[in-house]
Amino acid sequence: MGRPGWTLWVVVVLIGDSLAGPYRPDAEPGPLETNNIEELEVPPELDGAMSDAELVPHHYPAQRAAKVAVHYLNTRHASPYSCIELNRVHKASLEDLGQAGKKYRLQISLKECVSNTDLGQCLAEVLFPGEQEQRAPQVQCSCEGLKKLNNRAEEDALFQRLNTSNSPLSGSNIPDSYGNIAPEMKPMWHLGAAAASFVMLKESNESTLYNMAQVANFTQLETENDQLRFKYHILLHDMISQEILHWKLLVAWSPAGGVSVPQADWEPKCHHCELPLAKSTPEATKPSSAS
């Protein structure tokens, strides 16, 4: 090749490289390993449906749907000694099912919040029902790393201690204004968050993003059916409306049975007082998120 040939080659390479776009050192990870993940079954009625619209993973529609998947996982796996948090959304797509609602398909990675360890990746499907139906989102997940969650020894010890104690445990303002949590209150805080996940899952839609802001207070009740029971007053924060929502929960837990929430009541905001919440007001209505 003569000199002009070399020059042409160099020019072609340079043009090609600049067209390829900037180097992204934190590029998306490679294709998900499917070895350990069961294939999600596609219901027959959706087979052959319209192809999904690709979503930007770090934009809010995918992020909100991912949060719902995490709430779902926490209802099944969280405990006084473990909780699941979203690490990242890697891929996301949205399928509009018309009256049936909106289905998000997500590839997410998770972290265990207490130990701050990696929990690997999940394929999640989050279906927000259509306007007509006032139902909770429907979630399905295939996750590779959740078997790692095992705090049975600590849970058993806590269960024993609380079950045999003479004085029922109670606490308030967890965390306190400075973000501090007494060590003995940490499991109760995590239990509150696990219980809160049930409410946050049920209340979620495409215009919400819930986190638990605080355990206002909790009190231990009589053990029933080999399950510890508690009254919890929790504060949820919805990032979209920015509101703080008060919920009173009845929470049941045992290491074998996991966490359940037999009763959950929303406490309407008292607009006319800055004091601790009074009883429900007659004009109480469910909060609706601001657009």
- 239 contacts other proteins (rule: CB under 8 A): yes
Long-range contacts of residues 231-238, Cβ cutoff 8 Å, at least 24 apart: 232/192, 232/195, 233/267, 234/192, 234/195, 234/196, 234/199, 236/196, 236/199, 236/200, 236/203, 236/210, 236/211, 236/212, 237/210, 237/211, 237/212, 237/213, 238/208, 238/209, 238/210, 238/287, 238/289
Q: Which two tokens stand for residue 59?
A: 């934009």
- 178 contacts other proteins (rule: CB under 8 A): yes
Which helix (H) or strand (E) segment holds residue 110: the answer is: strand 102-112
Can you tell me the distance from the alpha carbon of 82 to that of 119, in angstroms, rounded to the nearest whole number?
12
- 197 contacts other proteins (rule: CB under 8 A): no
Q: Are 146 and 197 in contact (CB under 8 A)?
A: no
- 221 contacts other proteins (rule: CB under 8 A): no
- 173 contacts other proteins (rule: CB under 8 A): yes
Q: Are 202 and 213 in contact (CB under 8 A)?
A: no
- 63 contacts other proteins (rule: CB under 8 A): yes
Q: How many residues touch other proteins (CB under 8 A)?
A: 53
Min dist CB 84 to other proteins, Å, is 11
Min dist CB 73 to other proteins, Å, is 15
CB closer to other proteins out of 258 and 287: 287
- 179 contacts other proteins (rule: CB under 8 A): yes
- 59 contacts other proteins (rule: CB under 8 A): yes
Part in contact with other proteins (CB under 8 A); list of ranges 22-30, 36-44, 140-148, 256-264: 22-30
C-alpha 104 chain-centroid distance: 15
- Binders of other proteins in range 107-146 (CB under 8 A): 113
CB closer to other proteins out of 141 and 193: 193
Q: What's at 230, amino acid-wise? A: F
- Give the one residue of 157, 235, 266, 281 binding other proteins; rule: CB under 8 A: 235
CB closer to other proteins out of 61 and 142: 61
- DSSP-derived secondary structure for 209-250: -EEEEEEEEEEEEEEETTEEEEEEEEEEEETTT--EEEEEEE
Min dist CB 46 to other proteins, Å, is 28
- 248 contacts other proteins (rule: CB under 8 A): no
Binding site for other proteins (CB under 8 A): 1, 6, 9-10, 13-14, 17-18, 22-26, 56, 58-60, 63, 83, 85-88, 113, 172-173, 175-181, 211-214, 235, 237, 239-244, 269, 271-272, 274-276, 290-291
